[in-house]
Amino acid sequence: MTNPLKPLVDGLPKPLRNKYFLSLAIFAFLMVFIDKHDVLTQIRLQRTVNKLEADKEFYGQKIEEAKQERLELELNDEKFARERYYMRKSNEDVFIIDDEEK
């Protein structure tokens, strides 16, 4: 009884006939492309982490700005209302000068 695949196996290069090399190659293929934690998933997850870290920094800055505005409001609420919302008393005129540099 002869193996019909013997000529095909003999035609392969010697490293591909080595069972250890073959099992290592299959294992590497499974880990890189098929596994739950494959390379493409890791790249996607890293991009998501980078985006979330950038969002965290952005919102941290917004929180600091809001805290600063709250502090200004607590210290001088009339000035804040006049500058921010253009409020005025009934018997006065308000002139708004806007800096073009900003």
- pLDDT tens for residues 24-58? 999 989 888 888 888 889 999 999 999 999 999 99
Within a domain: 58: yes
Within a domain: 102: no
Domain count, the chain: 1
Within a domain: 32: yes
Calculated CA dihedral for residues 25, 27, 29, 34, nearest 10 degrees: 170
Within a domain: 19: yes
> How many Å apart are CA 17 and CA 11, to the nearest integer?
9
- H-state helical runs in 1-102: 6-11, 14-17, 19-29, 39-75, 77-85
State the residue range of the domain holding 34.
14-85
This prediction has a pTM of: 0.54
| Chain centroid offset of residue 14 CA | 46
Q: Token pair for residue 82?
A: 């006049």
Q: With a cut of 60, say whether residue 102 has pLDDT above it.
A: no
8 Å CB contact between 17 and 9:
yes
Within a domain: 66: yes
Q: Token pair for residue 33?
A: 């492309």
Within a domain: 8: no
Mean pLDDT of the chain: 86
